[in-house]
Every structure is written in C-alpha cells, then in structure tokens.
Structure 1
Amino acid sequence: MSNWFPKLYNPLMKPLEKIGFGNIRKELLLNAKGQVLEIGSGTGFNFSYYKHADKVVAVEPATQMKEQSFIQIKKASVPIEVISASGEKLPFADNSFDTVVGTLVLCTIPNPEQALKEMRRVCKPNGKILLFEHVRLENKFFGSLQDWLTPFWKHICDGCHLNRNTLQLIEQTGLQVDMIEKHYKKIFLVIEASIISNDYERRSEIENI
C-alpha cells in the first residue's frame, strides 16, 4: 500500500459517508450478531455501527489504516479488537464466527475468491455473511467503461477494481445469496449470504479431479 493513500482515505470517504454510505452501513450492521469478524476494516468506518455484536474481531493488513482505526474503537458500543491479517489467509479455526462482514473490501483484495472461501470457512454453518460492495454493471456500455477505467483506477486507489463481478464470485464460492439491495444505479450492492451446505468443499474437490 502506498504511503499517501491511507492519509487521504478518510477525507475522500467522509463526503460519501454523509450522502448515504453511512446509512447503508448502519442498516447492514444491525444484522451483525454474536461473535463478529470484519474483513479489511480499514480506518474503522463500521465500528460505531455495531450494536448487537458480543465482540468484533477486525482484520486489516495495512498498518497505517489499522492505526487510524484505533480512534474509532473509542466510539464503539461493543468490544472491538483489530489484528494484522490478510483476508485470504485468516488466522482462525473453522466455524469461529456467527457473522462475517466485508464492506468495500472485495474490490481491493488480490484474490477475492480465496477471501470468500476463507469467510465461508470461519463462519458457523447457521451464520451470516454481510457485504457492501461495488460491482461491474451489467449495462454493456458502462460495464465496458469500468473495464477501461480499472487499470488507471487501480493505480490511484491502491488496487481497487471497478469491474469485479462480486455477486458471481459469491455464488461460485459455496454461498447462498439470501438478500440483495441495489444502490446508486445498481453499482453498489448490499448482500446477505449464508452457507449452502457443509459438503461444498468435498464436492468442489471431486469436480476438480
């Protein structure tokens, strides 16, 4: 991660939070209950919105972002622990969390499919995965525009992909999409997902033989 991006992240995001992102986060995270894992917690925009969690463990690989998030822990009404870890290799046992959260993070993770597999692995069988992500538009013109802009966007926004088909990745990773809310002309999606079955990994291994 570049040195300048973490410094500009909060000033760039705050206008978006005020015009709607904050409300989207608030409504989504009311559903985060029990032991909660947040992937890529960044500077901690979500922390104050957790109301029903027993505890939140947040993972963030970027040291500068993690350090900035400590300020937000003081505003939280539930216990929050932030640790350094990658979403693609979570340091937790299987079935550890009641809720797994990711907001505006799968666009940046180098291997989002692996991150989703890890979310599924650490989520309890009856748990929930809550996501707020931007996605590639189905519209031919605007989808192609996102494809064209992505190399430049990745460079200035520290690896963020404008054209990730996150919904398709979710469905391919042994998760069942239970709810979708579309925002801002369908470029942002709120997604609630659950685990389809415990034998998904076994079936995947058989299919790949």
Structure 2
Amino acid sequence: MGTYFRTNYDQLMKPLEKRMFSRIRSKLLAKAQGHVLEVGSGTGINFPLYTNVEVTAIEPDQTMRDQSMKRVKEASVPIQVEDGDAQRLKFADDTFDTVVGTLVLCSIPDPLQALQEMRRVLKSQGKFLLFEHIRSDNPVLGKTMDILTPAWKRMFDGCHLNRNTVEIIRNAGIEIESIHRMFNRIFVVIEGSNPKQSY
C-alpha cells in the first residue's frame, strides 16, 4: 500500500462514508454477537459502531493500526487491535462467535484461503457479516473494471475491482443466508453462517 493512501485513507473515503457506507456499516454491525473477529480493520472506522460485543481486530499495516487507536478509545466496547494476516490466523479453532469484514476481501492476495481460515476460527453456526465491492455483472461495466484493475491494484494496495467475491465466499463453504446488492450491483452486503467443519 502506498504511503499516501495509508496515511490519507480516512480523508479519501470520507465522501463515500458520509453518503452511503456509514449507514451500511451501522446496520450490519448491529448484528454482531459475542466475541467478534474483525479482519482488516484498517483505521478502525467500524470500532465506534459496535455494541454489546468484544472485538479482536487484526490489521497487517502498522500505519493503519496506529491511526485506529483513536477509535479504540471512542468505542463503547473492548477492542484489541493486533498485527495479523487473514490468510494465516493465529487463533485456535472455534474461537469467535462472529467474523466481520468490510471492504477487505478485495485486497487480500488469496481471499479463498483467508475465508477458510475465518471459518476455522469461527464457531459452528457462527455469523459472517461482510460488506464488499465486487465485479459488476453488467457486461460493459464489468469489462471496464477488468481493464482498470491492473492500474488500480498498483495505486490502492492490491485492491481488485473485478473480483467475483460472492463466488469465492460460496467456494469457501460459507452458507450465505442473505445477500443485498446495491449501487449498480457493485457493492454487496452478505450475512452468512459457518456450517462446520470442512476447511
């Protein structure tokens, strides 16, 4: 991730957060229960939105972890922020009640491996709460995203505009219970569960 993007992430995302994303995050995170694992917590934008849970948040980038400390203090629930790689989670099997990921699967090098790891550490029938952007199924828009992705990845820390994240989630064995597509079907909110236990 380029230094400029890391340092200015909140400012760059502020218009989208104000217009759309903050409402989506609030509604989704209200469904979190118990001990939560948030993957790719970034600058901690979700932290003030949690209620009645305990959160372990992993973020591989030190700059973003440092920025998130302010929001840890603003949160109304206990939040522990740690260095971590979603593809190789250090937690024991069946540790968490809920796994949260928001706008993160686009930039993980191997999202299938990461999702399988999330399943491993999530309890049987535990909740998956995911908010992601995906490749559009509109032929013209989808092709445009394909063309833009190589340059986009270089600018924004490996972010893939054109990942078919819904298919990857299904391939990981997650049971999708609800899926809501929005904004020209580029963004998706998924609620799912862990049917256990084949990784």
> Same fold, TM exceeding 0.5?
yes
1:206 paired residue number: none
Task: State the 1:139 CA deviation.
Answer: 1.4
Secondary structure, aligned partner of 2:57: strand
Task: State the 1:197 CA deviation.
Answer: 3.6
Contact 2:134–2:165 (Cα < 8 Å) also in 1: yes
Contact 2:181–2:187 (Cα < 8 Å) also in 1: yes
What is the distance in 1 between the residues matched to 2:138 and 2:195? 29
2:146 paired residue number: 147
2:9 paired residue number: 9
What is the distance in 2 between the residues matched to 1:12 and 1:4? 10
What is the distance in 1 between the residues matched to 2:44 and 2:162? 25
What is the distance in 1 between the residues matched to 2:196 and 2:109? 26
Q: Which runs of 5+ in 2 are unaligned?
A: none
2:108 paired residue number: 109
Higher-Rg member (1/2): 1
Of residues 139-148 and 37-46 in structure 1, the stretch that sits farther from structure 2 once superposed is: 139-148
What is the distance in 2 between the residues matched to 1:8 and 1:155? 16
1:119 paired residue number: 118
Residues 126-175 of structure 1, C-alpha deviation per residue, up to 9 Å, x if partnerless?
Answer: 21011000000111111111100000111111111000100000000111
2:97 corresponds to 1:98:
yes
AA in 2 matched with 1:137: S
After superposition, residues 16-165 of structure 1 pair within 5 angstroms as 16-53=16-53, 55-165=54-164
**Aligned pairs, number:** 199
What is the distance in 2 between the residues matched to 1:177 and 1:133? 14
RMSD: 0.9
Residues 21-52 of structure 1, C-alpha deviation per residue, up to 9 Å, x if partnerless?
Answer: 00000000001110000000000010011013
Contact 1:136–1:187 (Cα < 8 Å) also in 2: yes
What is the TM-score normalised by the length of structure 2?
Answer: 0.98
After superposition, residues 169-188 of structure 1 pair within 5 angstroms as 169-188=168-187
What is the distance in 2 between the residues matched to 1:158 and 1:36? 25
What is the TM-score normalised by the length of structure 1?
Answer: 0.93
Contact 1:30–1:52 (Cα < 8 Å) also in 2: no
Contact 1:31–1:52 (Cα < 8 Å) also in 2: no
What is the distance in 1 between the residues matched to 2:196 and 2:84? 27
What is the distance in 2 between the residues matched to 1:51 and 1:182? 25
Contact 1:48–1:75 (Cα < 8 Å) also in 2: yes
Residues 172-202 of structure 1, C-alpha deviation per residue, up to 9 Å, x if partnerless?
Answer: 011110011112111000001112342x33x
Q: Percent identity?
A: 52
